[in-house]
Amino acid sequence: MAKAIFLDKDGTLIPDIPYNVKPALITLQANAIKGLQRLRDEGYLFIVISNQAGVASGIFTEDALPAVEKRLAELMDVHGLQLSGFYYCPHYPDGIVEGYNYDCDCRKPKPGMIINAGQDHNIDLAESWMIGDILNDVEAGNRAGCKTVLIDNGNETEWVTGPMRVPTYTCTSINQAATNILTTQMA
């Protein structure tokens, strides 16, 4: 079985520009590339796991997301990294777009996207990690059976705690997260 790094997109892998689906505005976090390269060298797959409530909220349509995935893959490829999967949840219970405005099993903090990705890519979730910048990311990873990293960069504003919302590590960047993950792997 494979092992993976599940990455939240906005605020974790890329700078957070709310509801951005313009490829020209998408860049990788500068403090992520070396860490991702180190994790790649240890055999981890990279899979994006992202809530995209902008679809249900009527801010953009679902057909804008393939261009986002393509841009992420291009940016990663420049650094010798491969994006193995791009999973998103277009649902939001308070949305205004019919057919998208409901409570689903894929929207983080639920683990649906991670579980689906695990099945699709034959991933051992217990050997995998979810990295995100809010506790909903952490909870989704923990519920899926992964280890978790919270990137504490100021994006978590609610700090609603609970047993499934405790990360394995709290770090300031993906580079720092990689060091902790690889140290854990060697222990």
Could you tell me the two tokens for 39? 């994790």
- Identify the pLDDT of residue 185: 72
User: How far is the CA of 81 from the CAs of 24, 53, 86, in angstroms?
Assistant: 19, 27, 14
Give the Cβ contact number of residue 70 at 10 Å. 14
Is 105 annotated as catalytic? no
pLDDT along the chain (187 residues), means of 10: 97 96 97 98 98 98 98 98 98 97 97 98 98 98 98 93 96 98 82
- Distance separating the N- and C-terminal Cα atoms of the chain: 20
- Among 10, 63, 103, 120, the active-site one is 10
d(CA 170, CA 151): 6
Q: Using an 8 Å Cβ cutoff, are 143 and 135 in contact? A: no
User: Which of helix, strand or coil describes residue 91?
Assistant: coil
d(CA 99, CA 80): 38
Angle CA 54–59–60, to nearest 5: 80
d(CA 35, CA 26): 19
- In the chain, the domains with their CATH numbers are 3-186 (3.40.50.1000)
Q: Using an 8 Å Cβ cutoff, are 96 and 56 in contact? A: yes
- Identify the pLDDT of residue 184: 85
Q: Strand runs (DSSP E) across 39-155, as ranges? A: 44-51, 83-89, 129-132, 147-151
Is 103 annotated as catalytic? no
